[in-house]
Chain A
């Protein structure tokens, strides 16, 4: 089983709809992240959370919200989806202070907003 699981893998929705992308992890990491990938723009940070009571905006948080329901769960919501939110979304975790800290990514969610 994957350590970082994103659901759904693909989603097609219409403009104005509310949608939620979910992420769960079994790595026991405190830190979780949501990134968005667009062609030519790399990965851009939307929101991040360093523990259950901590939520921080990233580079491109407008139009998004998050919820850290538990250490293992970090959800990303689009309250009213718009076409330019069509992108590949990645959830990631990390464990700072370890000798080999790095980002562990989920498999991604391809979102299309029509």
Chain B
């Protein structure tokens, strides 16, 4: 079974629109970590955020914000006032302590921001 599900395969928005990327995870572990990575067209993987399972506070970093809800096993990522430079593939990932901190990735959401 897929441990991390990113149901949105591709999203297109017009510049300055807000967009939310969904991530749903599955784990029986009580201690785990969630991540978002960005892969721009150049191909490298850029770390965006790490959140542990005991910290459900939402986080905001500039135009980026993350909503972590354990009740729905979701860790959604919102970009406010999107820009062309936000065009990339975004990956959500899970790391569980009971599997030796292996990392499990979703299939990614490809975001295109149209100028």
Are A and B a genuine interacting pair, yes or no? yes
Report which A residues bind B (CB closer than 8 A). 31, 33, 35, 40-45, 48, 50, 88, 90, 94, 96, 100-105, 107-108, 110
Using CB atoms and an 8 Å cutoff, list the residues of chain B in contact with chain A: 6, 9, 33, 35, 37, 43-45, 47, 50, 91, 93, 95, 100-103, 105-108
New contact pairs (13) apart from A40-B108, A101-B101, A103-B93, CB-CB < 8 Å: A33-B103, A35-B105, A41-B107, A42-B91, A45-B102, A45-B103, A50-B100, A94-B103, A101-B33, A101-B95, A102-B50, A105-B44, A108-B45
List the 8 shortest-distance A-B pairs measured between CB atoms, nearest first.
A42-B107, A105-B45, A43-B105, A42-B105, A96-B101, A42-B108, A102-B50, A108-B43
* A47 CB to nearest chain B CB (Å): 12
A interface: dominant SS = strand
B105, chain A: closest CB distance, angstroms: 4
